[in-house]
Amino acid sequence: MTDWEEVLNRHGSVVWQTAWRMLGNHADALDCYQTVFLEALRVVERDTVHDWPALLKRLATARALDLLRARYRQAGRHEPLASPTAVVSRRAEPEHDAEASELLERLRVELAELPNQQAEVFSLVVLEGMTYRQVGDRLKLSTSAVGMVLNRARKRLRERLAWVEPEAKRKY
């Protein structure tokens, strides 16, 4: 029998933070949190879990991506956030906070548009900081395959976000 209280105490914050960062609002993050642990229950029934943080991060990312896709499919691609994520840009001026928030929201939109595997690999490696090996174990991919998928995802996201003028280029 799994000690779920221990699991939630130790690893609940991983799920919460991943869900909140991916989704940017409280209600969706709660929804995602609940779904992730119910899914984890099913995983435990089939298999022994050796790496809870990796499993939970993967489940949280996957379910958050589902919610993002549903969100943007329902509302059109440019739904404004009900409660904008607080993003601190590298520069402290308020206008740069707003710009960074907009760019982050664009990233969410484009992640929802990516093919599922690319979106998951990019989110887990780049956004959540997992290693290629960890991601490969969870997604049943070799490390080289993870690298290839990641490159494709990056290329596509760069193209899609290229219309947003990056802060660093403004001085030129």
Partner 1 sequence: MNDYYEADHEDSLDTATRGYRSQRVPDGPPDEFVTEVLAALHHAEEAADQSVTVNLKEKFLAMNTTAKITIAATVLIVVGGLLPWLAPSGGTALAFTNVAEALANIRTATWNFSVETESPQGKMTINGKSMYLAPSRERREMPDHVHAANESGTAISLGSVEIFDYQKSESISLTPTTKMARVLKYENLPADGPSYSFEHLQRMVSDAQDGRVDKVENLGKRTIEGRETVGFRISKGDMECKIWTDSDTRLLVRVELTALRFKPKTRIVMSDFRINVELDESLFSLDVPEGYTIVSRLNIDAAEPKLDDLAQMLRLVAEHNDGVLPGELRNFESIYGGIIKSLIAKHGADESPEKAKAMAEFSANVERGMRFVLSLAPENDSHYAGKGVKLNTPNRPVFWYKPTPDENYQVIYADLSIKDVAAEDLDKRSLPAAVTVTEKRTVTKKSAVTKKSTVTKKAKFKVKVDSEGKITIQQD
Q: Which residues bind partner 1 (CB under 8 A)?
A: 1-2, 4-5, 8, 12, 16-17, 20-21, 24, 26-27, 29-31, 33-35, 37-39, 41-42, 45-46, 65-67, 69-70, 73-74, 85-90, 100-101, 103-104, 106-107, 115-116, 119, 125-127, 129, 131-132, 147, 154, 157-158, 161-162, 164-168
Residue whose CB is less far from partner 1, 50 or 169: 169
Q: What b/e sequence results for 18-45 when a residue is b if at least 16 CB atoms lie within 10 Å of its CB, and e otherwise?
A: bbbbbbbbeebbebbbebbbebbeeeee
**What is the CA 29 to chain-centroid distance, rounded?**
11
Residue whose CB is less far from partner 1, 3 or 50: 3
Residue whose CB is less far from partner 1, 48 or 74: 74
Residue whose CB is less far from partner 1, 45 or 93: 45
Rg of the chain on CA atoms, in Å: 17
The least CB distance from residue 164 to partner 1, in Å, is 5
Closest by alpha carbon to 162, among 99, 76, 103, 93?
Answer: 103
Sign of CA dihedral 129, 19, 159, 101: negative
For the record, the structure tokens of 58 come out as 């993967």
Closest by alpha carbon to 124, among 109, 107, 136?
Answer: 136
The least CB distance from residue 119 to partner 1, in Å, is 8
Residue whose CB is less far from partner 1, 65 or 149: 65
The least CB distance from residue 126 to partner 1, in Å, is 6
The least CB distance from residue 50 to partner 1, in Å, is 19
Q: Which residues contact 10 (CB under 8 A, 6 or more apart)?
A: 52
